[in-house]
Every structure is written in C-alpha cells, then in structure tokens.
Amino acid sequence: MIKTVTLNPSLDYIVDVENFEASIINRSHNEKFLPGGKGINVSQVLSNLGMENMALGIVGGFTGEHLAFLLKQKNIDEDLIFQDDILTRINVKIRSGSETAINAQGPSICEETKNKLLNQIKNLNDGDYLVLAGKIPPSMPSDFYLEIMKQVSDKDVEVVVDAEKEQLKKSLSYRPFLIKPNEEELGSVFDVKINSRDDVIHYAMKLQKLGARNVLVSLGEKGAILITEGNKVYCGNSPKGELVNSVGAGDSMVAGFLYGYIKKNSFEEALKYGLACGAASAFSEELATKDEVVKLIKNITINALEE
C-alpha cells in the first residue's frame, strides 16, 4: 500500500479572467475548485493509474469537508484527520494569459492532531510506501518529517520525500528510498546554480552521500535524470506538447515513478512512467489520466549514462 501525507492541503480555486487588470472589478468566465496539496496530487495520479493508495492529511471546517467530497468524487481513498477549530486553506489561481497564484498560509495545527497523524504512520506495515510531499505548515516543527520518518524507522517502509531545501536535507539522515528535487531545488540545497547535466549528476550524487538512496531530478522540458542506489545513471527525455498547467507535474512524476517501479520492478520503467505522468499533467487542465500516460509513454527514451 502507498500512503501519501499532505500536512497543509488546500482547495485550489481556479478562476479564468479575460484581460485581468489590477484595481478594478474583473469578471470571470469560468471557475472551479480542485483538491490541492502535493501528496494529494500524488494520490490522485496513482488512483487515475489504478494503483491502490491512501491519502493522509489534516483538514478542517467546510473547506475541509468539500476537499474530502472532491476526493470521493475522484475515487481517491482518504483517511483525513479533521480538526474542529480550523479551516482548510483556499489557494487562488487567476488565469489570464499567464497565471497568478495566491497561496494561503494554512491553519494552526494542535498537538492532539499531530499525535493522531503520527499514530496513523505507526500503523504502516513492512512493504508499504510512504510519500511525504510539500511544505510543513508554519504551526508545525520544521523537522516534523523527521518525526514521521522515526515512526517507521524500525519497519521495512520505503519513504519518498519531495520537499524543499532544509526539510529535504533533514530527511536524509533516515536514508529515504527516493527524493525528487527539481533542478532549482537541487541547486538551492548546495547554494549553487546548476548549469549542465554534469552538474545535476554531481550534486545528485552528493545527496546520495548524505543519505538518499535514489535521487530523481526533474528538469522540466529537458526531461529528468535518475541516480540509483546501484550507482546507475539514467537520463530520459520529456515528450513534446503544449504546456497547459505546470501545477502538479512534479507530483505526477513521483506517482508515475512509484507506479512504474512497483509494477515493473525496474528503474528504467519507473523513470519512463514518471516522465509520462509529469508530461501528461503539464499538457492537461487537470492531473494525468491513464489514457494520456499510455499515449505519451511511447515517445520517451531512457538512456543509461556511463559514469
């Protein structure tokens, strides 16, 4: 079983406006709510691919109830924790030629809720996968991912971490199965600018030395590079298409990687499915579907690089 954790989920309110202007009343011509949060995105793509998983997270209020309703509509299994005195945040995305996003800070999480979540994590079994994705909300300790990973440190649970700089670095002491920085995040960990494929490989291997077992670096339209714990380096291209929505593409890559790895027991196939899922989400209004992935995967080539 794969379980995803989203500590600060959201309702994403997407608003389409023609010729948006500041300081005046603008009229929308289309709007919709979508479930938001990196772990929830991973769960949605896994569910679209037909892979069993469970979305964990913390929600509250009428916004939390609507988020749970949307997950049910999309056939995503969840075991969300409701905290009575909070409201799940709403993130606003205004689309008018380009996209402007206003991401809310999120609610204050109490100790009782934190402990409920940690108890959920304790119940994972050997052979399970645990995906920790996204930022830790301000009301929680910055090392809370370490607390989560500690709960399964004595079990054979494969942990995936998709987080930013400090949270990513802190997680390495528990030797996660997979981390997935993008090119910019990889550079930020070492306070350098990534200028080439060699740079990507060099700094990804440094992350391995710090504790990561497998490192998947997403490079946007340039594809992705995977460095495995067996010291293999794989490079894959991103299929061609029109960028419609960049939100969730990285999360979709994580979902596709896990799907390919579990189904095919192959790092090459994992990378291929990761690239196909990331592209399928980038080329769509919403997140990748299985039909879209099947169409795109034929256009992806994985090469093993000599090191």
**pLDDT (0 to 100) of residue 166:** 85
pLDDT at 271 over 70: yes
pTM: 0.94
User: What is d(CA 301, CA 217) in angstroms, rounded to the nearest whole number?
Assistant: 16
Q: Which helix (H) or strand (E) holds 165?
A: helix 165-171
**pLDDT (0 to 100) of residue 99:** 84
User: What is d(CA 285, CA 245) in angstroms, rounded to the nearest whole number?
Assistant: 6
Active-site annotation holds for 12 = no
- Tens of pLDDT, residues 232-265: 999 999 998 888 887 889 999 999 999 999 999 9
User: What is d(CA 199, CA 115) in angstroms, rounded to the nearest whole number?
Assistant: 41
Percent of the chain residues past pLDDT 90, beyond the cut: 87
Q: Are 297 and 276 in contact (CB under 8 A)?
A: yes
Q: How confident is the model at residue 197 (pLDDT cuts 50, 70, 90)?
A: very high
85, 143, 162, 251: the catalytic one is 251
Q: Are 93 and 15 in contact (CB under 8 A)?
A: yes
Between the CA of residue 57 and those of 44, 54, 70, 97, 105, what are the distances in Å? 14, 10, 14, 33, 16
Average confidence (pLDDT) over 147-153: 96
pLDDT at 35 over 90: yes
Q: Where do the domains of the chain lie, and which CATH numbers do they carry?
A: 2-18+31-305 (3.40.1190.20)
